[in-house]
Structure 1
Amino acid sequence: MRTFILVLSIFASNYLFGQNRINAYVEFLKEQKSPKEYIFQLWEDADIIVLGERDHRDTTQYNLILDILSDKRFIEKVGNLYLEVGVVNATERANDLIKNSHDKESFHKRFVELQMIEMWSPSYWDKYNRYQLLYGLFQINKELSRENQINIGLLDMEFSWHDSITPKKYKEFYTIQMNREYNTREKIMADNFQTFYSKQQPRNNHKKALIITSREYAGKFHVHCKGNNVKRQAGHIKDMYGNKVKTVALNWYKWLPLNWEKQILPNKSNGLSADGKFDAAFELTNCTAVGFDLDASPFGEDKYDYTFDNDLKWKDVFDGYIFYEPYYNFTGKIGFPTRLNNKQAKEFIRRMIINNQALGNKKDARLLKWFGWIRKYTEKNEYCNMREFKCISIYPNHIEWKSAMDKWIISNEQEQ
């Protein structure tokens, strides 16, 4: 009798979470919490949440992130945010920006000064959501007492564009110290977090943190690919703190840098997760934002976007998943509501020359030396040239993605 019940239970589970039946996915989503409530539910047991963000340029995700950061529960029990973007040695300047009293003009001046020192790349981080996040934190903190203000820590590798940096030293940094596969860099970012976290002061007897990093870094798995075994940033952090760490992915699409389709993973391409099934289920709930555990969900049983040689499922890579805005609404924005001065623009030209020399691009380096005074004005104009676009617009095949989603919606209608 027990064998019969076990077989029946397995059959029922497979039927409910059948990977070819979208209705089970839709009904599951209807029972879930809002993303914000889901995150705070995770913090009831977990101490550290690693949130895998989507396209770095997307501004919509930061509407949710700022909603979480401004919540009284975050301020009282968490209070500490750690970011992939930004070299670790710029952390003090970043906290000065978001914690001290400024008018908007002063904030803009200090924002540009931070951008001059927070990146190891030769140019500034041109994503508007950097401003969106830091100005949002500034607005939150100015209403709080000093001891209740939100702290941030920047996790990227230590680097400085000091006057003694040479093309040889710069090349050594990104080819040897950083490591071509980014394995070394991700371990260093995890170690930087551990250093910060070990010194972090509890809030109301809680020692909790939120880490925002690229989604590929936020997975808790090891990548096995072409004989390489690469542990991700969140995997290193999981090793340090065990089950007190939860990793959560924001909905996105199957993403690879466009040149990877030909060079590194030629049999893969950009598209929608689970061939459109995830997005179709979300669409059939009128895109109601939700968050949920992947384990024991139909979504967790689907193959991960890029299974590599591990044959990964979603639940193998992330503990949780958030649907927030459909993929066709993701809005990128570049540029800032302030300007570079001449000295700052000239400094970026110096860095570009060093970068080109390090890469062996002698012709480009010479042109910048000769005509850098022209490029300087271009950089100044680009910095304050704010423009929006749909994130999917850069992918030539994005029109096909809707058809992939629609086929699941049609199949659901036929199930009814």
Structure 2
Amino acid sequence: MRKNIFLIIVLSTVCSFSQNIEIKPYIDYLNTIEKKSAKDYILEKFKTNDIVVLCERDHSDISQYELIKDIITDEYFKENVKNIFTEIGVVNLQPEITNFLKIKGLDTVYVETKLNEFQRNASSYFIWDRYSYHYLLKTIYTINNNSENQISLYPSDSEFDWKIVQTSEDYKRAYEIEIEPRDSLIASNIINKYKEIQTENNKKALIILNIRHAYKVHSHYNNGFIQQNSGKYLSDFFKDRAFFVLSNRPRFYINENKLVYELIQDGKWDGAFKYLKIDNIGFDFKNSIFGEDNFDLQNIINVQKYSDVFDGFIFYKNIENHNLIDFYEGLVSKDFEDEFFRRFKIQMEYFENTLIVKNLENKDFQRKILKEMNTKRYRKYQNFENLIESRDKYLTH
């Protein structure tokens, strides 16, 4: 009998955590709500809203795009939503990308060539290196190639065309004119295209914006600066037809010229989900302890709580399962190398990085850069161990 009691104690220690008092209110709330998967939660919101704005995590995180793949592959999405707008991807490429993704039966090599082309020209950077964009484009092409219901993708970032940029002065003119009003331009691109494509039977769209761009408020800072956010413009236009969703992610800020990552609410949220072994759920912020928490994703002074900025929340995969991927094989193909280094040099001249400009003349340096660009790099968030510690301190055996 004493042996059995000892075994029970050991097993309970190994298999469960004690309930830390600081995360107990979150645990209690999660125990009261209906458990809907992140996918089902997003699809459900389309039944009561025309627009769902999803706040993207780090651009490189592929796990969130695996969720997006599940959402847009669903028959309900293909039949009733159909439209996706993204912050990533310059608007001047919109017609070509939108049309290409609907052409069926193309040779796989040609498809890959075109997707790489879209990736390279996606932004004002000399190249867009986040693999998630290629993944999304290929996902949509595959869905459309195997379905009668076609999904339309509308990249909506401010206009930029490397073909007209020949010098750092050209870059300055093309780049800086789009920076200050960028969020209003993104929102305008989305709204104008939405007005063009909406019909009586097709008024729905998924809009994917990164971090503050997805806020339904502008960002007011202590120094008096007001940062315009695309989400605020979209909220003003769509009003209660739009629903804004945050996904679990670290917060980040600059400290002494270093990028510092921390978990929301010092890890309490993540701790509660791990305690309950929940890694896939969605719920509204309204009338929830999560929505009532002080907004700490960024330090802005014009909001009090999370429900002021977002309407809902999805928790999809614990932070150790967020997989960030940069670069991939074929990103800089042989026939693109000269153009790649031309752009690289121009952008470094603009930022006055004379060391890199000089190194670009070195063949060994060029080979090193090309190898990096064409090799997938898997990584975790910076100071990843600290993020885990800040969560797990609420979980004691």
TM range (shorter): 0.7 to 0.9
Q: State the one-letter code of the partner of 1:155.
A: S
Counterpart of 1:261?
Answer: 255
Q: 1:374 Cα shift?
A: 4.8
User: Residues 269 and 117 from structure 1, CA distance in 2 versus in 1: closer, same or farther, beyond 3 angstroms?
Assistant: closer
Which of the residues 182, 191, 194 maps onto 1:197?
A: 194
Q: State the one-letter code of the partner of 2:255.
A: E
Asked if the contact 1:171–1:359 (Cα under 8 Å) also holds between the matched residues in 2, the reply is no
Asked if the contact 1:345–1:379 (Cα under 8 Å) also holds between the matched residues in 2, the reply is no
> For 1:83-232, what aligned pairs fall within 5 Å after superposition?
83-100=86-103, 101-122=105-126, 124-145=127-148, 148-179=149-180, 184-202=181-199, 205-225=201-221, 226-232=223-229
Q: Would you say 1:271 and 2:262 are equivalent positions?
A: yes
User: Residues 337 and 354 from structure 1, CA distance in 2 versus in 1: closer, same or farther, beyond 3 angstroms?
Assistant: closer
Asked if the contact 1:295–1:319 (Cα under 8 Å) also holds between the matched residues in 2, the reply is yes
Q: 1:351 Cα shift?
A: 1.0
Deviation readout 1:180-205 (Å, 9 max, x if unpaired): xxxx1011000000111011143x71
Q: 1:269, 1:336 → 2: CA distance?
A: 26
Return 5+ residue gaps in structure 1 as ranges. Answer: 1-17
Counterpart of 1:336?
Answer: 328
User: Residues 200 and 298 from structure 1, CA distance in 2 versus in 1: closer, same or farther, beyond 3 angstroms?
Assistant: same
RMSD of aligned Cα (Å) = 2.3
Q: State the one-letter code of the partner of 2:227.
A: V
Q: 1:92 Cα shift?
A: 2.3
User: Residues 274 and 164 from structure 1, CA distance in 2 versus in 1: closer, same or farther, beyond 3 angstroms?
Assistant: closer
Q: 2:340, 2:86 → 1: CA distance?
A: 23
User: Residues 71 and 19 from structure 1, CA distance in 2 versus in 1: closer, same or farther, beyond 3 angstroms?
Assistant: same
> For 1:283-362, what aligned pairs fall within 5 Å after superposition?
283-305=274-296, 306-338=298-330, 340-362=332-354
Q: 2:198, 2:136 → 1: CA distance?
A: 23
TM-score, normalised with respect to structure 2: 0.87
Q: 2:345, 2:378 → 1: CA distance?
A: 29
Counterpart of 2:392?
Answer: 406
Q: State the one-letter code of the partner of 1:70.
A: T
User: Residues 78 and 347 from structure 1, CA distance in 2 versus in 1: closer, same or farther, beyond 3 angstroms?
Assistant: same
Task: Between 161-170 and 151-160, report the one with greater CA deviation.
Answer: 161-170
Counterpart of 2:272?
Answer: 281
SS at match of 2:227: strand
Counterpart of 1:384?
Answer: 374
Q: 1:378, 1:23 → 2: CA distance?
A: 49
Task: Between 170-179 and 329-338, report the one with greater CA deviation.
Answer: 170-179
Q: 1:311 Cα shift?
A: 4.8
The ranges of structure 1 where at least 4 consecutive aligned residues each deviate by more than 6 angstroms after the TM superposition are: none
User: Residues 165 and 406 from structure 1, CA distance in 2 versus in 1: closer, same or farther, beyond 3 angstroms?
Assistant: same
Task: Between 331-340 and 19-28, report the one with greater CA deviation.
Answer: 19-28
Asked if the contact 1:19–1:298 (Cα under 8 Å) also holds between the matched residues in 2, the reply is no
Task: Between 322-331 and 156-165, report the one with greater CA deviation.
Answer: 156-165
TM-score, normalised with respect to structure 1: 0.83
User: Residues 177 and 134 from structure 1, CA distance in 2 versus in 1: closer, same or farther, beyond 3 angstroms?
Assistant: closer
Asked if the contact 1:349–1:375 (Cα under 8 Å) also holds between the matched residues in 2, the reply is no
Task: Between 90-99 and 328-337, report the one with greater CA deviation.
Answer: 90-99
> For 1:37-48, what aligned pairs fall within 5 Å after superposition?
37-48=40-51
Q: 1:206 Cα shift?
A: 3.2
Q: How many residues align?
A: 373
